């Protein structure tokens, strides 16, 4: 059994977070909420999303897995206006997800989850941590896109830094401790990442909302942020690009 009512924006938020990595996702449903874990086809990035049952206006669920076409679900959410609540219900007999938006009933076919692997979140020992405002970070990323396809992130005890270098041009964003929400770094740590992936990872976070970055040396990065008024949480992992010299 799965029967839930929620603001359409929150479902749109789930799609924004997962769809840059995968077209289809396995929604793991329990009595406590929904979680999604997905790895992109190139195995460069992983998303781990949790949405608690407290994010819902109504929520009743047994344990189950639903295989969902994210594009299709996105199209359905576009039928709802901002502020509209929708209901979602699993119909076991027909193996369909029934979405109700006002007087509209949309029955959606599901994807077999048998072919969808269960990814494990690898344990990472990342020594440094910085909490940055989304607006600052996204300005740095947009600037970097014009000069290169990869960027370096580094953290030391005084600042968080983003750096990108092209043939003739460079981008440098240095945020001193005073402009960070949090900073912890026992030394200097630096890794290189694909701008495309990193840009998609931070895009769902808006304005002055905080993004937590955990980083090591030539190690994956871990990016964390909340959504759905803290009833939801997202963790991204992104593999580093190793500088060939």
Positions that interact with a copy of itself (CB under 8 A): 72, 75-76, 78-79, 96, 101-109, 136, 139-140, 142-143, 146, 167-175, 179
82 vs 168, beta carbon nearer a copy of itself = 168
Residue 43 CB partners (closer than 8 Å, separation 6+): 239
The two structure tokens encoding residue 207: 């304005």
Shortest Å, Cβ 114 to a copy of itself: 17
* Axis-axis angle for helices 70-77, 8-18 (nearest 10): 150
Cα distance between residue 183 and residue 129, in whole Å:
6
Nearer to a copy of itself, 146 or 181 (CB): 146
The residue (of 18 and 144) whose beta carbon lies closer to a copy of itself is 144
Residue 75 C-beta: closest distance to a copy of itself, Å: 5
Cβ nearer to a copy of itself, comparing 19 with 234: 19
For 32, phi then psi, to 5°, come to: -95, -15
Nearest distance, CB of residue 172 and a copy of itself, angstroms: 4
User: How far is Cα 160 from Cα 131, in angstroms, rounded to an integer?
Assistant: 9
What's the min distance (Å) between Cβ of 234 and a copy of itself? 25
| CA separation for the pair 71, 51 (Å, rounded) | 20
């Amino acid at each position: 059994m799965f029967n839930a009512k929620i603001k359409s924006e929150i479902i749109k938020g789930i799609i924004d977070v997962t769809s840059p990595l995968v077209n289809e996702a396995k929604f793991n449903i329990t009595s406590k909420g929904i979680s999604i874990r997905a790895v992109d086809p190139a195995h460069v990035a992983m998303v781990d999303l949790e949405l608690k049952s407290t994010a819902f206006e109504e929520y009743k669920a047994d344990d189950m897995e639903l295989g969902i076409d994210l594009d299709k679900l996105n199209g359905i959410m576009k039928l709802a206006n901002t502020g509209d609540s929708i209901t979602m219900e699993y119909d076991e007999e027909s193996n369909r997800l029934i979405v109700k938006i006002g007087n509209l009933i949309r029955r959606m076919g599901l994807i077999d989850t048998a072919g969808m692997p269960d990814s494990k979140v690898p344990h990472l020992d990342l020594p440094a941590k910085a909490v940055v405002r989304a607006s600052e970070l996204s300005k740095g990323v947009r600037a970097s896109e014009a000069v290169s396809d990869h960027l370096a992130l580094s953290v030391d005890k005084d600042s968080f830094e983003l750096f990108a270098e092209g043939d003739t041009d460079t981008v440098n964003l240095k945020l001193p401790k005073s402009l960070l929400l949090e900073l912890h770094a026992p030394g200097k740590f630096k890794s290189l990442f694909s701008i495309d992936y990193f840009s998609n990872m931070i895009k769902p976070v808006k304005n002055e909302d905080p993004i937590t970055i955990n980083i090591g040396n030539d190690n994956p990065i871990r990016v964390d942020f909340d959504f759905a008024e803290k009833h939801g949480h997202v963790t991204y992992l992104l593999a580093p690009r190793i500088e060939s010299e």
